Amino acid sequence: MCGIIGYIGPKKCIDIVFDGLKKMEYRGYDSAGIAVLHEGQISISKESGKLENLRPLLEQLPSEAHIGIGHTRWATHGLPTRDNAHPHASEKLALIHNGIIENYKELKAELQKKGFHFRSETDTEVVAHLLGERIKAGDHPRDALNKVILRLEGAFSLALISDQDPHFIYLAKQGSPLVIGLGKDENFFGSDVTAFCAHTQKAVFLQDGECAALGAKSVEIWDRQGHPIQPKTTMIQWSAASADKQGYRHYMLKEIHEQSGVISKTTHAFVKDSSLDLEGLGLNSIELNKVRSIHIIACGTAYYAGMTAKYAMETTLGIPVNVELASEFRYRNPLLMGEGQTLVMAISQSGETADTLACLKHAKDKGCQIFSICNVAYSSIHRESHGSILMHAGPEIGVASTKAFTSQVLCAYLWTLGAAQKLGRLHAEDLSSILQELKSLPIYMDKALNAEEHIAELANKLYEYPNFLFVGRGPSYIIALEGALKLKEISYIHAEGYAAGELKHGPIALVDKHMPIVAIVPKDQYYDKTLSNIEEICAREGQVIAIGDEKDQHLRDLCIDIIPCPSLKTPCFQAIVSTVAVQFLAYYIAIKRGTDVDQPRNLAKSVTVE
Ligand code: F6R
């Protein structure tokens, strides 16, 4: 993963790079570092842990420097220590890297034989020494970079400064994102446009296999064969949106509360005059009539959004829908029909998830139609797609996804309705009654949000349990999976989500009076069946907490608590409102356990390595 950023121009660079790193911290927060080039000298400051740990060390850098590169790390090779933090130095250079060098072990052995001493356990230091070796031998940094990248296997975006050419930053991209920001007499680069969009709106997205030399007044790009590439400029309309906590204790809490607003914005964007905006839903950019199968590809929470989408999509469109984890899909050689007969739909908040992106590229090569639902405009997945929906969730800063999930579920459902309308498979009266309920969805979300205090109190009783189960049927099963994931990632409690009907096929062996089981049990078509499963759990002394109708006496008799949740007719909307309860539950349990809710250990917001 990791985030990289750099600046070259007349201004003092340290604050610019540090501020850019703040925006990149969602990509990793294991360590951070900055290298600057000033009066022909390279200076490096780096520290383990969050970016703030680096701040006091910035004084050690020459404050007048105007060429700088910065890195925030998510550890892949080696512990999150200071030594493993980037930038890495070698002869006459400093280097930062996002990605993984897969053949680093062979390269490292080769360099060690030649007497190179390694200070870190990272794959990146290998690249630094390969470059250092060439520069020491007399190669210009640009030539050294051109030669060294030919030896690297894996994914990388690299940025290099060298005292042998103190007027340029050199860049190379293969597999990991890298974008240049063009300013007036100054230039920037970053892992994405948020790194520099406070300074310039002019971006050049580098393609795989491309290298660049970034001067203050010039940008030169070339391919692997050394052929010059004309920079293609994109004007970005992505403001450095304010993302403060607005008085909330954590971003996650703020983002949970934002969900009814996100639903209103989404509805506003895609429903115009009581009908669906097919253009806005990206449906005019794909050839729907050709589509014979749909694969929804995603990771983590976004994968659960995809699983929720399948329930309505397959039946409403009459097209088989497969939902698959990107990391599995990409290596199993799936059956894909060319000539646009297979539609591959990626769901991704960041639009940068490496596995999801790789699946799209593979499917595109096979002649599939590519569609995406992303939150981040200009992200790699968004740019790779034939058609797309841009969500209206706004920046999601908390590492655990909340508002992006409910927004993904809603967008995928609106897309399904739009597609059904286009295919002539949706009665006008059915659409109108769904849209009617959609109008009230923010009100139902607010009602679900009202359960916050109740859930906070409940968390006081539950936070010491070491294990949890979450169960549900139909779309509520997916919310059970999402609830278990949320709890795991922010409270570090072991939790599993199961289809309620699956319990007796194994997991019920875990049930005793020490096992809290969260059952999502709305008054839907699955209600009676889920209730029977709850009876089975209670017969084994399981402690059931229901998310459902608080006035439901039958439920009340069985469960130790009911988290009140409104009932809706449309299954997708029900899933959205039920989600609020599992989000709050994870949040308040994590608060009681004192974990770092917004930046939980070992995680990063954007997973840009496979
Ligand atoms: C969990 C979470 C992750 C992401 C996953 C995919 O709370 O946030 O599981 O959903 O890493 O990320 P995107 O949606 O950016 O592709």
Q: Give the tens place of pLDDT for each residue, 188-199.
A: 999 988 899 999
Rounded to 10 degrees, the C-alpha dihedral 563/566/568/573 comes to -70
608 lines ligand 1 (CB under 6 A): no
Phi-psi region of 566 (alpha: psi -120 to 50; beta: other; left: phi over 0): beta
How many Cβ atoms from other residues are within 10 Å of residue 250's Cβ?
Answer: 20
Length of the chain, in residues:
610
pLDDT at 13: 98
327 lines ligand 1 (CB under 6 A): no
Q: Considering only the C-alpha atoms of the chain, give the largest distance between any 2 of them, rounded to a whole number of Å.
A: 82
Task: Kindly tell me if the per-residue pLDDT of 174 is higher than 90.
Answer: yes
Tokens of 387: 């058609």
Confidence bin at 210 (pLDDT 50/70/90): very high
216-240 pLDDT, tens digit each? 999 999 999 999 999 999 998 766 5
Tokens of 420: 């059904």
- Alpha helix ranges (H) inside 118-258: 124-136, 141-149, 251-257
45 lines ligand 1 (CB under 6 A): no
Nearest protein CA to atom 3 of ligand 1, as residue = 300
β-pair type (369-374, 387-390)? parallel
Expressed in angstroms and rounded, the spacing between residue 78 Cα and the centre of ligand 1 is 23
380 lines ligand 1 (CB under 6 A): no
Please say whether the beta carbons of 92 and 132 come within 8 A: yes
Q: What span, in angstroms and rounded, lies between the C-alpha atoms of 527 and 551?
A: 15
pLDDT at 239: 61
pLDDT at 243: 60
Task: Kindly tell me if the per-residue pLDDT of 610 is higher than 90.
Answer: no
Expressed in angstroms and rounded, the spacing between residue 608 Cα and the centre of ligand 1 is 11
- Closest ligand 1 atom number to CA of residue 404: 14
Please say whether the beta carbons of 400 and 252 come within 8 A: yes
54 lines ligand 1 (CB under 6 A): no
- Closest ligand 1 atom number to CA of residue 350: 15
Phi then psi dihedrals of residue 593, to 5 deg: -85, -5
Task: Kindly tell me if the per-residue pLDDT of 415 is higher than 80.
Answer: yes
- Closest ligand 1 atom number to CA of residue 607: 11
SS (H, E, C) 482-533: HHHHHHHHHHCCEEEEEEHHHHHHCHHHHCCCCCEEEEECCCCCCHHHHHHH
Q: What span, in angstroms and rounded, lies between the C-alpha atoms of 204 and 59?
A: 32
394 lines ligand 1 (CB under 6 A): no
Tokens of 184: 């007036």
Nearest protein CA to atom 8 of ligand 1, as residue = 401
More confident residue, 408 or 155: 408
- Alpha helix ranges (H) inside 185-258: 251-257
353 lines ligand 1 (CB under 6 A): yes
Expressed in angstroms and rounded, the spacing between residue 348 Cα and the centre of ligand 1 is 7
If you average pLDDT over every residue of the chain, what do you get? 95
Confidence bin at 607 (pLDDT 50/70/90): confident
Q: What span, in angstroms and rounded, lies between the C-alpha atoms of 395 and 243?
A: 7
User: Looking at residues 240-269, what average pLDDT do you find?
Assistant: 89
607 lines ligand 1 (CB under 6 A): yes
CA 216 to chain centre: 32
Mutational pocket test of ligand 1: of 256, 297, 299, the residue with most ligand atoms within 8 Å of the beta carbon: 299
Mutational pocket test of ligand 1: of 256, 352, 353, the residue with most ligand atoms within 8 Å of the beta carbon: 353
- Alpha helix ranges (H) inside 120-205: 124-136, 141-149
**Tokens 């948020």, residue located:** 194
pLDDT at 606: 80
Instruction: Please name which of 274, 272, 315, 314 lies closest in space to residue 294, comparing C-alpha atoms.
Output: 314
Please say whether the beta carbons of 157 and 6 come within 8 A: no
Nearest protein CA to atom 10 of ligand 1, as residue = 301
**493 SS3 class:** coil
At 156, which helix (H) or strand (E)? strand 154-162
Task: Kindly tell me if the per-residue pLDDT of 386 is higher than 60.
Answer: yes
Nearest protein CA to atom 16 of ligand 1, as residue = 348
Q: What span, in angstroms and rounded, lies between the C-alpha atoms of 306 and 346?
A: 9
Task: Kindly tell me if the per-residue pLDDT of 351 is higher than 80.
Answer: yes
pTM of the model: 0.90
400 lines ligand 1 (CB under 6 A): yes
**Tokens 């209670």, residue located:** 538
Expressed in angstroms and rounded, the spacing between residue 288 Cα and the centre of ligand 1 is 28
Mutational pocket test of ligand 1: of 1, 250, 350, the residue with most ligand atoms within 8 Å of the beta carbon: 350
Confidence bin at 605 (pLDDT 50/70/90): confident
User: Looking at residues 273-297, what average pLDDT do you find?
Assistant: 96
Nearest protein CA to atom 5 of ligand 1, as residue = 300
Catalytic residue positions, numbered:
2, 605
Q: 523 Cβ partners below 8 Å, 6+ apart? A: 548, 549, 552, 567
User: Looking at residues 248-271, what average pLDDT do you find?
Assistant: 97
Tokens of 322: 């497969």
| Angle subtended by helix axes 259-270 and 571-593, to nearest 10 | 150
Among positive and negative, which fits the CA dihedral 551, 554, 555, 556? positive
Report the first-to-last Cα separation within the chain, whole angstroms: 9
Tokens of 411: 């967008």
348 lines ligand 1 (CB under 6 A): yes
Expressed in angstroms and rounded, the spacing between residue 149 Cα and the centre of ligand 1 is 30
Among positive and negative, which fits the CA dihedral 22, 377, 410, 345? negative
503 lines ligand 1 (CB under 6 A): no
Please say whether the beta carbons of 559 and 534 come within 8 A: yes
**Tokens 């990063």, residue located:** 604
User: Looking at residues 92-104, what average pLDDT do you find?
Assistant: 95
Nearest protein CA to atom 6 of ligand 1, as residue = 299
354 lines ligand 1 (CB under 6 A): no
Among positive and negative, which fits the CA dihedral 425, 430, 434, 435? positive
Expressed in angstroms and rounded, the spacing between residue 349 Cα and the centre of ligand 1 is 7
Domains of the chain: 3-243 (3.60.20.10), 251-447 (3.40.50.10490), 452-593 (3.40.50.10490)
Task: Kindly tell me if the per-residue pLDDT of 242 is higher than 60.
Answer: no
Is the bond into 87 cis (omega within 30 degrees of 0)? Answer: yes
Q: What span, in angstroms and rounded, lies between the C-alpha atoms of 12 and 436?
A: 55
Q: What span, in angstroms and rounded, lies between the C-alpha atoms of 557 and 507?
A: 23
Instruction: Please name which of 387, 474, 393 lies closest in space to residue 422, comparing C-alpha atoms.
Output: 387
At 206, which helix (H) or strand (E)? none
Question: What DSSP letter does each residue of 329-385 carry, written as one string?
Answer: HTTS-----TTTTEEEEEEESSS--HHHHHHHHHHHHTT-EEEEEESSTT-HHHHH-
Task: Kindly tell me if the per-residue pLDDT of 273 is higher than 90.
Answer: no
Cα separations (Å) of 32 from 22, 65, 178, 257, 610?
10, 18, 18, 31, 21
Confidence bin at 395 (pLDDT 50/70/90): confident
Expressed in angstroms and rounded, the spacing between residue 495 Cα and the centre of ligand 1 is 18
309-333 pLDDT, tens digit each? 999 999 999 999 999 999 999 999 9
Q: What span, in angstroms and rounded, lies between the C-alpha atoms of 266 and 438?
A: 10
Expressed in angstroms and rounded, the spacing between residue 404 Cα and the centre of ligand 1 is 9
Q: What span, in angstroms and rounded, lies between the C-alpha atoms of 36 and 41?
A: 8
Q: What span, in angstroms and rounded, lies between the C-alpha atoms of 219 and 419?
A: 43
305 lines ligand 1 (CB under 6 A): no
Q: 204 Cβ partners below 8 Å, 6+ apart? A: 179, 180, 182, 219, 221, 231, 232, 233, 234
